[in-house]
Each structure stands twice: as C-alpha cells, then as structure tokens.
Structure 1
Amino acid sequence: MTVESQRLLVFVGSYAEAGDNGVYVYAFDEATGTLTLTDEFAGLKNPTFLNVDAKRKLLYVISETVNQAGQKVGEAAAFSIDAAGGSIQLMNREITVDSTTCHIQRYENGRFLTVTSYHGGMIGLMSITEEGAVGSLLDVRQHEGSSQHPDRQDRPHPHSSFYSPDGRYLLVSDLGLDRIVTYALDELNSKLVHQSEVALHPGAGPRHLSFHPNGKLVYVINEVDSTITSFTYDKESGQLVTQETVSTLPPDFKDENSCAEIKVSADGKYLYGSNRGHDSIVVFAIHEQSGMLVLVQHISVEGGHPRHFAITPNGDFLLAANRDTDNIVTFKIDKASGKLEHTGISTTVSKPVCVVPVYLTT
C-alpha cells in the first residue's frame, strides 16, 4: 500500500499579455519560506484571479478575450494539476460573461463557478462538467445603481463573490453601490436568487470579505475609504448586520491609499488586510466574545501595491503579492501575537495579483 504525502504548492495569477507567461506554480518550502518555480503557463490575457479545487487537483483561472463581435469579454480556463511534478495542463477555456472579470470563486461541491465583472456590473454562474472542465453560463445577475464617489461609484462595480461556509448563500461586495448583495444558490434550477442586501456607509467601496471560522462573523475590506467593516452573519437567513468600522491606516498617514485583500486567520484570532499606497499589511486582533477589532501592527510589504496576499494552510506564513514591484514577499506569522516578521525572502514575479497556497496529495 502506498503512503500518500502532501505537498504545498503556490499558484500565482498576474497581469500579462496572452503571449507571455501569466500563471505560475511554485513549490513552497515550509522550513524556510522559499518559493521555487515548478511551472508556468502562457496563452491567457490577464489571468488575474485563481481558484484551486485541492481534492480534484483542478485549477480555475479567469482571463480576458474577445467575442465574435470583437467585444472584450470574460473567459475562464480549467487546468489539471500534477501535484508531484508541480505542473499544470490546460483542460479547456470558455467565454463567461459579456465583460471582463476580476474574480472567480467555486462552490465547494464542485458543480458551480461564479465570476465577477467589475466593469460590467454583473455576476455570472457557470457550470463545472463532471470531468472538472469549465462548463456553460447558467445565470447572470446584473446590478444597478450608484453611490457617492463621482469617479469610483458612478455605476455598479461588484468586485468579488464568496460562498458562505455552508454553501447556501453567495455574498457579493459591490464597490460601486456600497452594498453587499446576498444571493441564495438555487442548485435545482442553477440560478442565483436575490436574498438580501446590506448598505455600508457612503463612500466605503467594499471589495473582498472573509468569514470568521465560527461562521457568525464577516469582515469586509473597503477599497475606497481604507476601512474594514465587521458584520454579524445569520446562516439561516444569510442576513448581515453591521457591527463596527475601523481604519486600516495609521492616524498620521495622509497620502492616497486603497485597500485590497482581507483574511481571517484559521484560528479566528487575527485579521489581516492590505493597504496600497501605505504599502502595508495591517494586523488586528479579534476579540473572542464580541468579534471587535484591536490594532496590532502595520508592517511594510517590502514592495509596492499589495493587490493580494494569502496565508499558508498551516498558518505559519503570509505571502504578499506586490503588483508594482514584481515580487511576492514571504512573512513569518507569530501565532501567539498575530504579528508578521519579514523573512528577507522576496520572489521575483511579473505583476503578481493573486496568490493561492494549497496542500495537494501527491
């Protein structure tokens, strides 16, 4: 009987022309925090966001293409993953929605993908075939409206979609509307059904969110005004109720900034967010009873424009993807305090904008 082992691979998406490498695979050394390139793929334009199905060893990637009329549209590609070799193989690619996309998420049962179009103001529900390939477009939810910022919020700009832990609901952060829109997933009819929505303060610009492991709290990072808003979450109704909003910046920082990524640690004790402008990761402790946030640290990302970051599955490291300085920087996490410490390790990658570390069975 063979003994299965696990390998930690890191998948990276980037801004790239179709003829250039844009999707990268790295092996991660958990002793040192070092990334070693094992594969790269060219052929997709701006493969900026990724999702990995670790059980089935599948990688899903968004990209841009044009339709028969020459219009820019969204595309999604599926890859099979060879965990032992650290390599990927293209399975298929399909047009998704009638505009470029910025985010892709997968329903945990392996039957659906959702893609988010910032510029098109819409969410698309895609099927996944039995083989794991990208299937057909099943449903589109178009957002309408605006908010207060004249340039950033003149129309809908959904920036991400995240499934609730039980998969019943899909939470969509719309930067342009200052709203989080919750949809129920109707699996039988392959539809997204509007369930509820919650308004944030005007000018917030919600971008990404993270569920607390207890399933009762949700934290949203607001891109436009550099804040984080916390909510209680009712898993039965999918309803969010606002708790508090805190700044991601030091009080003395007065220059331009926008936020990007947010993550709650697996133990539920700490929250991390990225600042672009201040070029830092902000760290908060999460109060065990109330869920309120207490500032712990601001630390430089040792680069520019941290558009995304990820925490390794064992919670030991944070990887910051700095788009404007073409590097991914490795930080060590002190699990007792939540604080980050720069390891001195920086990996050169062209315009990285998404980083996904995953354990895979070899």
Structure 2
Amino acid sequence: MARAVELWVGTYPAAGPEAPAGTGEGIWRLRLDPEAATLTGELALRTPAPSFLATSPDGSHLYAVGETTPGTVACFAVTPTGLELQARVDAGGGSPCHVLVDPAGRALYVSLYGSGGLAVLPLAPDGGLAPEVLAAGGPTQVLEHEGSGPDPERQEGPHAHSATLAPGGEVLLVADLGTDELRRVRVRADGTCAADGVAAQLPPGTGPRHLVVGPGDHLYVVGELHRALHVLGWDRASATARPVAVLPLPAGDSFPAHPVLRGAELLVSVRGPDLLARFAVPEDGARLEPLPTRPAEVSWPRHVAVVGGHVVCAGQGSDEVVALPSDPTGAALRLTVPAPACVLPVASDTGHGAPGRAPVGRRG
C-alpha cells in the first residue's frame, strides 16, 4: 500500500485578498493516508492570504506569498510541532501570486500579479531569508515589465502569474497573463537575475497563467483567457520557444488554471465546469492526445498536485480539499478547508514530515 503523506495547503480569502479577515487566512497541514482511506488536517498557522507556497530544497523552510496590496513574502521554519514565523517582508509590488524556489536554494522568485514584475529574494545557506533581504525589508531585485493585451479587463498591463525554470535550468520563464508573453529571465551563478527579453509571444488574448515542462524539452502552457493549452518546443541554444500545437480546453464560462504531469498524462484544472482536462503525453512530448475529462469533485479547482496515487485538488469555491484516487471508480477523500488555493507535499527529509476564482475581471 502507498505510504501516508503530509501536505501544506495555502488559502485565499473567500471575499478577496483585500477584504476584512474572515476566512482563508491560514496555512493548513494535512495528512493523506491511502491505507486508512483518510484525509485529515488542521490549521498550522494564521497568516494573511497565503495563496501560494513553496519549500526550501531540504524542506526545513516554508515560504508563502501574502496576496495583498502591498504584497508580502513570509518565511517559516518547519518545526516538529508546526511552523514558526522567521520573517515577513515586502514583496516588492502588489498581489504576489506565485513563489518559486531556486533548486539550489539560492533565492526565491516571486511573481507580482498586480504590478507585473518579478521579485528576487536571496536566501541564506540555512534556508532563511538572506541578511540583505532582511536589511532591505524586501527583495534585492524587482524586474519590472511593460505592455498590455486585447482584453481591457484582464490585460490592461503586465500581470506576472508564475515563474518556471526552462529546460537546462539557466532561464526563468515568467508567464505574463497581461502581455501574452513568456518573459525570459537569465539566472546568474548567485541566483540573482537579469531580464532578457521575451522567449515566446503567444497569440493575443491567450492570458498565459501557469506552465509545466514536459518530455523532449516541451512546454505546456495554460491560456486562461482563451481557454487553450499551448504546446511549445524549447530551444536551449537560443532560449526561445516555438509553437508546436494548440489544444482546446473546455469552452464557455470556464477558467483553466493549473497543469500537472502524472506519468504519461497531463492534467489541467478548469474552474467553472470544475473538471480536470486530460491529455496523453507521448515519449517525444509533442503530440498530446485529448482524453476524457474527469470531474474535479470540488468547486473552483484553483490548484492540483499529484501525491502518490492521488490527485489532490484545492476547491477554492467549495471550501474543501479532495484527494481523487487514480481509479475513477474509487472513493474520493475530502476535508473541509476554508478557500484552499495551493497544495504542496511536505518534504520528508527534514525529519518533520511523513515518511518517505471568482467572476470574470478578477484574478484568482
């Protein structure tokens, strides 16, 4: 049987990140036990609008954006009993919605949806925020951007929605929902960054949100606004991506959100119809084939993660986290969590882990 695993879950205030406190101001710790067929958990710590989470490479620290204006970034030490706040600093702009940790633990890269930039916060060797970040009270770099798109409500300016390392690990790709671009950012040896133009220009009105790297150096980019999945081929020599295919996602009043790979299958959470779009991924990574969709069994599945034999969905609209077994005939496991927005497995090598949105016009 699969081993029990633990998860961090970040939340998003039900009334929006600028609303008074009420629900969705905390980080939860969950335990998924496939053998016992249970999903349990509790609030680990209250913190404002922690809509996206990441861990240090060794799992000793947890980082959370505070998706407010002005935005914040918090660093927590993972202890045997939970989380301990070490520092909370300014994010360098409004509405930070995504945080990526450099694989070598050199820095955090924070996407600023509201102001459109990418903030760089160096880390100390122990996983805490570096002294220069603490001294400045925020990032040591903010790479700003300009531009817009054809959607007057969602693309009036740049809106960095996520950052992903391109194949090779030397370039960050910033998915800019507002400008329909994958912005290219060079990563220096010390983890700091330099803006380097545009790696891919997507069709007007695409609204790139999140992406994942697939086989054969292919990128699978979710277009939130025009409801399509873009397959791009990455060229390491030129650090550019070329279009390979465009695959439709469920149309109508739908808002595609997060892609995740599960073996030879790609899953994309789609809010509105509240389902998982599915695609078979061949060995070369290029010719994806649509598969029957699967209900997400939650409302507004903002984020998903593959955890052992389960797909775990954060149902922001239904205040619950659900773990769907690989076998679609199996029973889903559920837990009530206020406005969950991000699901992240707890690292096990710290000694503290288990063995082993909203209407059109709003972000979310």
TM-score range, shorter chain: 0.7 to 0.9
* Closer/same/farther in 2, CA of residues 199 and 33 from structure 1, 3 Å limit: farther
Residue in structure 2 matched with residue 354 of structure 1 by the alignment: 342
3-state SS of paired residue (2:331)? strand
Q: How does 1:301-316 map to 2 (within 5 A)?
A: 301-312=296-307, 314=308, 316=309
Distance 1:342 1:225 in 2: 33
Match for residue 11 of structure 2 among 7, 11, 14: 14
Match for residue 169 of structure 2 among 167, 170, 176: 167
Match for residue 206 of structure 2 among 204, 207, 211: 204
Q: How does 1:251-262 map to 2 (within 5 A)?
A: 255-262=252-259
Question: Contact 1:8/1:358 (CA < 8 Å) preserved in 2?
Answer: yes
Question: Contact 1:257/1:278 (CA < 8 Å) preserved in 2?
Answer: yes
* Deviation larger for 296-305 or 230-239: 230-239
Distance 1:273 1:56 in 2: 26
**Cα deviation, residue 7, structure 1:** 6.3
Residue deviations 1:11-30 (CA, integer Å, cap 9, x gap): 00002466865111112213
- Between the two proteins, the alignment pairs up a number of residues equal to 334
Distance 2:67 2:223 in 1: 25
Distance 2:282 2:312 in 1: 25
* Deviation larger for 295-304 or 347-356: 295-304
* Closer/same/farther in 2, CA of residues 144 and 8 from structure 1, 3 Å limit: same
**Cα deviation, residue 303, structure 1:** 2.1
Distance 2:113 2:331 in 1: 35
**Cα deviation, residue 111, structure 1:** 1.1
Question: Contact 2:26/2:43 (CA < 8 Å) preserved in 1?
Answer: no
Distance 2:224 2:157 in 1: 16
Residue deviations 1:103-135 (CA, integer Å, cap 9, x gap): 111001111001111110111111112332223
Which structure shows the bigger proportion of residues in strand conformation? 1
* Deviation larger for 27-36 or 179-188: 27-36
Residue deviations 1:65-95 (CA, integer Å, cap 9, x gap): 6xxxxxx32211111223x55x222222111
3-state SS of paired residue (1:187)? coil
Gaps of 5+ in 2: 14-19, 134-138, 352-364
Distance 1:230 1:64 in 2: 29
* Deviation larger for 105-114 or 281-290: 281-290
**Cα deviation, residue 359, structure 1:** 4.0
**Cα deviation, residue 187, structure 1:** 2.9
Residue in structure 2 matched with residue 69 of structure 1 by the alignment: none
Distance 1:165 1:142 in 2: 24
Gaps of 5+ in 1: 1-5, 66-71, 335-339
TM-score scaled by structure 1?
0.86
Match for residue 151 of structure 1 among 153, 156, 166: 153
Distance 1:7 1:317 in 2: 11
**Cα deviation, residue 39, structure 1:** 4.7
1:325 counterpart = 2:326: no
Distance 1:290 1:348 in 2: 37
Question: Contact 1:113/1:128 (CA < 8 Å) preserved in 2?
Answer: yes
Residue in structure 1 matched with residue 74 of structure 2 by the alignment: 77
**Cα deviation, residue 189, structure 1:** 8.0
* Closer/same/farther in 2, CA of residues 282 and 167 from structure 1, 3 Å limit: same
Match for residue 280 of structure 2 among 285, 303, 307: 285
1:230 counterpart = 2:227: no
* Closer/same/farther in 2, CA of residues 276 and 181 from structure 1, 3 Å limit: same
* Closer/same/farther in 2, CA of residues 19 and 170 from structure 1, 3 Å limit: same
Question: Contact 2:181/2:198 (CA < 8 Å) preserved in 1?
Answer: no
Distance 1:242 1:192 in 2: 25
Q: How does 1:27-46 map to 2 (within 5 A)?
A: 27-32=31-36, 34-42=38-46, 44-46=47-49
Question: Contact 2:107/2:191 (CA < 8 Å) preserved in 1?
Answer: no
